[in-house]
Amino acid sequence: MGIIRRAVLHSRPGKNSEPVAENFFVEEANLPDGIAEGQVKVQTLYLSVDPYMLDPELVDGHLSYFLGAVGMPGLTALFGVKEKGHVTPGASQTMVVSGAAGACGSLAGQIGRLEGCSRVVGISGSDEKCSILVSELGFDAAVNYKRGNMTQKLREFCPAGVDIYFDNVGGDVSDVVLSQMNQNSHVILCGQISQYNKDVPYPPPLSPQTEAALRDKNITRDRFLVLWYADKHEAGILQLSQWVREGKLKVRETVTKGLENIGAAFQSMMKGGNIGKQIVLVSEE
Ligand code: NDP
């Protein structure tokens, strides 16, 4: 038997009280030396402590939201829109979001609206997703990029052109959006998932024609990483939590049960099998 140490939550801070170190204690436990077939042995190198560990109330008990709407994807959507979107309330801006039914995209469109865009249009890979974007998540319109004439549909849904483009996908979809962007408009370069299976640098090179259009129209297209805004994460989580609890930010999840299905869940998400955040449920609370 090997001796291990484990940190255990001993007590919760009382109502309106601050957490203290004594809420946790460290105890020793025995771990068998050998491991059986099908088991793995892991060693913890680092642990994180985060504001949201204090209070499941932040998500009204939906702990998985910390992986999505009130976690990294939510912060990505929030900081992308706030830091790179140049949203100006009252300016009648149209925002387009690609990957719009995914974890980041479904939130980015809603946040664009909350921040002041007057029109929000999503692009996603199925009619079902498009219908959910409009009927549940408050998008004004949505285009299925796998069906019909996307160029024409987008022109129809964005009659005044595109002012802000939250780009999750890159590739052909983005070329169409970029061709309909207005003078002095802004691309929020969140990700380029359509290019991730290709051996290209990040961000992948644009066609000379698209490069020229960006230059001629003075379109900004800045990269950003959610990790760059670590100093704003706590405030961001509180903002997202508030919007979720007020019902202003609607949350969608696709839950796959069982650790053994993590590979299948990843493969499915990369092919568009998810609506909202793809979660793997490992054990019931
Ligand atoms: P999603 O929940 O959006 O899942 C991925 C989605 O991508 C799929 O559901 C699928 O939806 C879409 N997709 C897959 N292949 C293609 C394709 N060839 N063309 C168009 N769409 C495609 O994932 P996330 O929200 O976690 O990530 C979205 C993007 O945000 C990614 O590019 C990711 O790298 C980026 N990201 C960036 C961060 C940052 O800090 N900048 C942080 C986190 C994520 P569909 O059915 O519509 O095809």
What is the rounded CA–CA span in Å between residue 161 and residue 176? 12
Determine the angle formed by the axes of helices 72-79 and 233-245, rounding to 10 degrees.
100
- Nearest protein CA to atom 36 of ligand 1, as residue: 191
Distance 234 CA to ligand 1 centre (A): 24
Distance 282 CA to ligand 1 centre (A): 23
CB 78 within 8 A of CB 72: no
Mean pLDDT, rounded, of the chain: 93
Indicate if the pLDDT at residue 12 is higher than 90: no
CA-based torsion, 29, 33, 37, 42: positive or negative:
positive
Q: What are phi and psi for residue 4, nearest 5 degrees?
A: -120, 160
Using alpha carbons, select from 130, 196, 188 the residue that is nearest to residue 157: 130
Using alpha carbons, select from 239, 284, 195, 212 the residue that is nearest to residue 107: 239
Alpha carbon distances (Å) from 272 to 23, 99, 225, 237, 281: 42, 9, 22, 26, 19
- Which pair of tokens denotes residue 192? 């380029």
Strands 24-31 and 2-9: antiparallel
All domains of the chain, ordered by start, with CATH?
Answer: 2-53+254-281 (3.90.180.10), 72-226 (3.40.50.720)
pLDDT (mean) for 9-37: 85
Query: Global pTM?
Result: 0.89
pLDDT (mean) for 211-234: 95
Considering the chain, what percentage of its residues have pLDDT values greater than 70? Answer: 98
Alpha carbon distances (Å) from 80 to 11, 105, 265: 37, 11, 26
The whole-number pLDDT of residue 31 equals 87
The whole-number pLDDT of residue 8 equals 86
Which atom of ligand 1 has the smallest separation from the CA of 126? 46
What is the rounded CA–CA span in Å between residue 133 and residue 141? 8
What is the rounded CA–CA span in Å between residue 58 and residue 242? 8
- Which pair of tokens denotes residue 82? 């706030």
Indicate if the pLDDT at residue 51 is higher than 70: no
CB 103 within 8 A of CB 73: yes
State the Cα torsion 199-77-266-121 to the nearest 10°: -90
Ligand 1 pocket list (CB less than 6 A) = 73, 76, 99, 101-105, 124-126, 129, 168-169, 171, 173, 190-194, 224-226, 269-270, 272, 274, 278
What is the rounded CA–CA span in Å between residue 197 and residue 199? 7
Distance 69 CA to ligand 1 centre (A): 15
Q: Give the ipTM of the model, two decimals please.
A: 0.99
Which atom of ligand 1 has the smallest separation from the CA of 100? 47
pLDDT band at residue 108 under the 50/70/90 scheme: very high
Indicate if the pLDDT at residue 279 is higher than 80: yes
Q: Which residues contact 6 (CB under 8 A, 6 or more apart)?
A: 26, 27, 28, 29
Distance 105 CA to ligand 1 centre (A): 8
